[in-house]
């Protein structure tokens, strides 16, 4: 890292530059070469004064030149707003780390006002921080030491001219108990400035080896040579590099020392005056003073042109009059010589010779090789045709007089005309509460009486209240900050209109002139301007998770077998996706049956403060808003249609977006008659009851249990009719021989039927012929009943098959529609449908053959045992 402190010449140069008249004056509290101990704090105060004629916004910041300086400063940028002749101070605080390496770190203080003073800024001040080693280091008796010879101090630095050389001897003493290797590093100087020479080794006779380190045994001392050779173009000034000695045994040991160097100044400055244009007629003569600084010190030279003629005909201009020439740099100063007294130009004959001299003066009173350069300007005589302008001037005077007479007496003053009228932007959004702002330009504003602005629709109907501004007494106060008048042009920008509602506007402006001759109003319209409305929340998809659901079992025995099964799978779950959800006030969900009657209570989900608590497990934040598996509360078998309404917020509008699902079915589970008993025993096809004359018939209790979905109609025919799914009823039979056919019939909501029947027959064991006749009649009735039941069961089976085929077609159609409307629900629907299908197959296979036969096909009656016949 380069360690350099500005010389006295550079400090003096900065003082001279600061004296040049500038709109900003800067005072820095630091000296430019501040010494700070590592681990301490350093404050830099910068005072800025605005000497300009107007207010300015000024930025003061620290520009890092050495790596790490910006990290030391807590806030490296300050912003000031100063009026004319105001000043303010900013303070930058540097926290120097404890572990930073000693050395010189440079940075630049930049004062910039790009908007207010672009030509004079930025102003830069080079600063340096010399970081010194901390005083709390502990030196052990076994640590190595080194000494620099010859010794240098800040008061007695080593003087090295540019291109010269300076040799430094570094004596190293190894006080440790082990052999050690030492290397010398000077990181503050460029590698081209120095060379480190280590002692040569002689392992064998006649063999010399170059080494890159100093090898020392315990207690030995050695010498390292450091040769410093600054280049010829090195700037004069003081340099303080840090030397560090690295020990191979103790690499973290900091062995540091400072070397004070000084490069003396060289004041070589060559100057010459070159002629560019020396013969002129009416233009300026041009000369150039070239200043070449071949030294190593910046030079500030003042230039002055003196007229050597008594008449003082010429005027002289220097661009610039003060030249700053940096080392190894050439600066050209233009000298313009212009004859001013045109009447002294010769009319005839030879040219006029004008003599002048350019004098140089060093601002620091440094020596100059030559301080005066003479010059000659040749002013040629006039040509003969130059007498014609005098005649033309006379004619022009007559014409101007006539023009002024017309202007004062006959001229019609021009009316103000709007030649520019535009919106500041072509598109606005109601989302941001945008209001249309307008701008316009009118010439001849002194003749303007008033302007009127109104917003129109495409067909010319007014959409805004007309706004009128009175310009009869100048710019009105309400437009003072928005309008600017320059001679005959009035320009106004960012004029707020009354257009704030969504829609398309065309603004019309009418400029009304003051009363007088030739006063004509000027009207102009803008292009169309659109205020985009706030987008309404929309429902892009709304469907159930499955097309069909199956009613879950409610039987206790079955539930105990299926504890791990989801008993709520028959409940309809809904998925939906909405966009523009941040403008959503609420969602309303209502369920209806196929006839349109409401079957579920209206549910309202309030989205005014985000996703409601009841939907946080179902909805995913973001845009679009996706909600899945939302419970509907509908479990009863049947056909349903759900309706979802999106209610927008008040500021969006009152349009309600509604979307409905397709028909969703909850299929009832298959009907199963668990038991059908007489007096606690399974009912046979025929139940015989003997009777005795003059005695009551023994009581008969009929009980049943049906496993079916809610809504299934269970009937006991011919009487008592509709009965519950489970129950019992006593029968009292007529104490006469006869028969009664009882039928237990279960009908689902879809029309599926399951029938069980039993014949109750009373007979008299003493009767013979009558009994035989009765038995024959009963047998015939039973056979006819069985045939009718078989036929009915077959028809029911065919009906169920057709219903299943129709349901399968509907399911496939709904699956295809659901796949197109929402890809996100595809995997969920397929998995649920597959699980439901597998569950149905499992339940079907779990039904025993006896249950199937009992539920759909009543068993054939066994042969009837007839009572014994009397002889």
Tokens of 408: 């004062």
Q: Give the pLDDT mean for 636-657.
A: 82
What is the per-residue pLDDT for 822? 52
**Is 228 within 8 Å of 193 (Cβ atoms)?**
yes
Residue that the structure tokens 């068993």 belong to: 859
In angstroms, the CA 182 to CA 215 distance is 7
**Is 266 within 8 Å of 162 (Cβ atoms)?**
yes
Q: Taking 50 as the threshold, does the pLDDT of residue 825 lie above it?
A: no
In angstroms, the CA 221 to CA 144 distance is 10
Q: Taking 90 as the threshold, does the pLDDT of residue 227 lie above it?
A: yes
* 3-state secondary structure at position 322: strand
Q: Taking 70 as the threshold, does the pLDDT of residue 13 lie above it?
A: no
In angstroms, the CA 451 to CA 522 distance is 9
Residues 6+ apart with CB under 8 A from 384: none
Q: Peptide bond before 313: cis, by omega within 30 degrees of 0?
A: no
Tokens of 328: 């190894």
**Is 123 within 8 Å of 27 (Cβ atoms)?**
no
In angstroms, the CA 447 to CA 414 distance is 8
How large a percentage of the chain has pLDDT more than 90? 7
Buried b (16+ CB within 10 A) or exposed e, 254-277: ebebbbbbbbebbbebebebeeee
What domains can you pick out in the chain, each with its CATH number? 24-132 (2.60.40.10), 145-263 (2.60.40.10), 269-384 (2.60.40.10), 418-532 (2.60.40.10), 538-553+571-667 (2.60.40.2550), 672-763 (2.60.40.10)
How large a percentage of the chain has pLDDT more than 70? 85
Q: Taking 60 as the threshold, does the pLDDT of residue 141 lie above it?
A: yes
What is the per-residue pLDDT for 366? 85
How many helices (H) and strands (E) are present in the chain, helices listed first? 7, 58
What is the per-residue pLDDT for 507? 92
Q: Are strands 448-456 and 503-513 parallel, antiparallel or unpaired?
A: antiparallel
What is the per-residue pLDDT for 671? 79
Mean pLDDT rounded to a whole number for the chain: 79
In angstroms, the CA 311 to CA 356 distance is 12
Q: In what order do the strands lie in the sheet with 145-149?
A: 145-149, 166-173, 221-228, 194-197
pLDDT band at 209 (very low <50, low <70, confident <90, very high): low
**Is 778 within 8 Å of 740 (Cβ atoms)?**
no
Q: What is the pLDDT of residues 254-286, one digit of tens each?
A: 888 888 888 888 888 888 888 888 888 878 888
Q: Taking 50 as the threshold, does the pLDDT of residue 451 lie above it?
A: yes
Higher pLDDT, 829 or 642: 642
Q: Give the pLDDT mean for 180-197.
A: 89
Q: Taking 50 as the threshold, does the pLDDT of residue 130 lie above it?
A: yes
Task: Select from 141, 116, 112 the least CA-distant residue to 125.
Answer: 112
Helix (H) or strand (E) holding 302: strand 299-307
CA pseudo-torsion sign 205, 206, 207, 210: positive
**DSSP-derived secondary structure letter, 264:** P
Q: In what order do the strands lie in the sheet with 738-747?
A: 686-690, 753-763, 738-747, 713-717, 721-723
Length of the chain: 871
Tokens of 134: 């901390």
The burial class, CB within 10 Å (0-12 / 13-18 / 19+), for 711 is: middle
Residues 6+ apart with CB under 8 A from 629: 545, 573, 574, 575, 618, 828
Residue that the structure tokens 């509604």 belong to: 658
Residues 6+ apart with CB under 8 A from 363: 16, 300, 301, 302, 322
Q: What is the pLDDT of residues 315-358, one digit of tens each?
A: 888 888 888 888 888 899 998 888 887 777 777 667 888 889 99
Tokens of 654: 């009152």
Half-sphere exposure of 335 (CA within 13 A, CB side): 28
**Is 259 within 8 Å of 147 (Cβ atoms)?**
no
Q: Taking 60 as the threshold, does the pLDDT of residue 428 lie above it?
A: yes
**DSSP-derived secondary structure letter, 23:** S
In angstroms, the CA 584 to CA 762 distance is 74
pLDDT band at 154 (very low <50, low <70, confident <90, very high): confident
Q: What is the pLDDT of residues 696-750, one digit of tens each?
A: 777 788 888 887 777 788 888 887 888 887 888 887 777 777 777 888 888 877 7
* 3-state secondary structure at position 600: coil
Q: Taking 70 as the threshold, does the pLDDT of residue 564 lie above it?
A: no
Tokens of 83: 């009026």
Q: How far is CA 423 from the centre of its chain?
A: 28
pLDDT band at 134 (very low <50, low <70, confident <90, very high): low
Higher pLDDT, 690 or 775: 690
Cβ neighbours of 455 (radius 10 Å)? 25
Q: Taking 50 as the threshold, does the pLDDT of residue 871 lie above it?
A: no
What is the per-residue pLDDT for 452? 92
Q: What is the pLDDT of residues 654-703, one digit of tens each?
A: 778 888 888 888 887 777 888 878 877 787 877 777 877 767 777 788 88
Instruction: Compute the C-alpha angle 250/251/257, nearest 5°.
Output: 95
In angstroms, the CA 641 to CA 638 distance is 10
Higher pLDDT, 722 or 518: 722
């Amino acid at each position: 890292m380069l360690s350099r402190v500005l010389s006295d010449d550079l400090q003096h140069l900065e003082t001279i530059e600061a004296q040049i008249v500038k709109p900003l004056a800067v005072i820095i509290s630091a000296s430019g070469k501040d010494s700070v101990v590592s681990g301490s704090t350093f404050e830099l105060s910068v005072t800025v004064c605005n000497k300009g004629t107007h207010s300015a916004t000024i930025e003061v910041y620290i520009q890092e030149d050495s790596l790490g300086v910006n990290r030391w400063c807590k806030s490296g940028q300050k912003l000031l707003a100063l009026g004319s002749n105001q000043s303010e101070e900013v303070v930058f605080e540097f926290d120097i780390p404890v572990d930073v390496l000693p050395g010189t770190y440079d940075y630049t203080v930049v004062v910039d006002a790009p908007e207010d003073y672009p030509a004079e800024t930025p102003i830069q001040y080079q600063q340096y921080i010399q970081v010194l080693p901390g005083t709390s280091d502990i030196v052990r008796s076994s640590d190595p030491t080194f000494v620099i010879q010859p010794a240098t101090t800040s008061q007695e630095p080593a003087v090295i001219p540019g291109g010269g050389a300076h040799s430094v001897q570094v004596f190293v003493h190894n006080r440790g108990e082990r052999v050690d290797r030492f290397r010398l590093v000077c990181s503050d100087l460029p590698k081209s400035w120095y060379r480190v020479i280590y002692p040569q080794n002689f392992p064998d006779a006649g063999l010399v080896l170059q080494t890159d380190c100093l090898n020392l045994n315990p207690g030995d001392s050695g010498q390292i040579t450091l040769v410093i050779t600054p280049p010829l173009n090195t700037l004069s000034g003081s340099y303080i590099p840090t030397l560090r000695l690295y020990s191979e045994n103790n690499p973290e040991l900091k062995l540091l020392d400072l070397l004070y160097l000084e490069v003396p100044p060289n004041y070589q400055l060559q100057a010459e005056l070159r002629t560019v244009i020396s013969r002129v007629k009416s233009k300026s003569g041009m000369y150039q003073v070239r200043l070449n600084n071949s030294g190593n010190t910046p030079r500030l030279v003042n230039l002055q042109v003196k007229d050597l003629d008594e008449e003082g005909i010429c005027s002289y201009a220097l661009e610039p009059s003060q030249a700053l020439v940096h080392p190894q740099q050439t600066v050209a100063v233009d000298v313009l010589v212009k004859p001013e007294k045109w009447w002294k130009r010769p009319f005839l004959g030879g040219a006029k010779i004008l003599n002048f001299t350019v004098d140089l003066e060093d601002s620091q009173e440094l020596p100059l090789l030559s301080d005066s350069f003479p010059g000659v300007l040749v002013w040629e005589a006039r040509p003969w045709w130059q007498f014609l302008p005098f005649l033309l001037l006379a004619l022009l005077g007559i014409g101007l007089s006539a023009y002024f007479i017309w202007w004062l007496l006959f001229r019609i003053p021009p009316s103000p005309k709007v030649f520019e009228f535009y919106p500041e932007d072509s598109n606005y959004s109601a989302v941001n509460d945008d209001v249309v702002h307008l701008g316009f330009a009118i010439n001849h504003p002194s003749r303007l009486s008033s302007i009127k602005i109104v917003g129109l629709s495409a067909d010319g109907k007014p959409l805004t209240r007309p706004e009128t501004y009175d310009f009869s007494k100048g710019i009105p106060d309400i437009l003072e900050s928005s309008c600017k008048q320059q001679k005959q042009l009035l320009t106004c920008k960012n004029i707020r209109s009354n257009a704030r509602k969504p829609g398309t506007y065309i603004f019309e402006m009418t400029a009304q002139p003051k009363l007088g001759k030739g006063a004509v109003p000027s009207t102009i319209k803008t292009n169309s301007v659109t205020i985009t409305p706030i987008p309404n929340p929309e429902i892009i998809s709304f469907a159930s998770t499955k097309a069909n659901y199956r009613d879950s079992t409610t039987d206790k025995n079955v539930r105990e077998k299926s504890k791990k099964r989801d008993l709520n799978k028959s409940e309809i779950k809904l998925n939906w996706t909405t966009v523009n959800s941040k403008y959503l006030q609420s969602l309303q969900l209502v369920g209806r049956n196929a006839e349109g009657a409401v079957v579920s209570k209206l549910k309202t989900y309030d989205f005014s403060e985000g996703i409601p608590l009841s939907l946080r497990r179902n909805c995913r934040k973001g845009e679009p808003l996706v909600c899945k598996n939302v419970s509907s509360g509908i479990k009863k078998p049947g056909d349903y249609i759900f309706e979802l309404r999106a209610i927008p917020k008040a500021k969006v509008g009152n349009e309600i977006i509604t979307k409905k699902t397709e028909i969703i079915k909850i299929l009832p589970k298959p009907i199963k008659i668990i038991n059908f008993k007489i007096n606690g025993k399974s009912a046979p096809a025929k139940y015989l009851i003997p009777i005795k004359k003059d005695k009551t018939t023994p009581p008969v209790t009929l009980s049943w249990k049906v496993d079916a979905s809610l809504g299934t109609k269970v009937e006991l025919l011919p009487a008592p009719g509709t009965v519950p799914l489970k129950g019992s009823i006593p029968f009292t039979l007529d104490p006469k021989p006869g028969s009664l056919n009882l039928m237990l019939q279960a009908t689902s909501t879809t029309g599926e039927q399951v029938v069980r029947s039993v014949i109750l027959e009373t007979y008299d064991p003493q009767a013979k012929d009558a009994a035989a006749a009765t038995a024959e009649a009963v047998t015939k009735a039973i056979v006819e009943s069985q045939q009718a039941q078989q036929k009915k069961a077959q028809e029911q089976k065919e009906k169920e098959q057709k219903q299943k085929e129709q349901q399968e077609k509907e399911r496939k159609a709904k699956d295809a529609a659901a796949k197109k409307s929402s890809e996100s629900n595809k995997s969920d629907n397929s998995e649920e449908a597959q699980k439901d299908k597998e569950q149905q197959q499992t339940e079907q296979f779990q039904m025993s053959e006896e249950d199937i036969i009992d539920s759909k096909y009543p068993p054939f009656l066994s042969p009837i045992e007839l009572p014994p016949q009397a002889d």
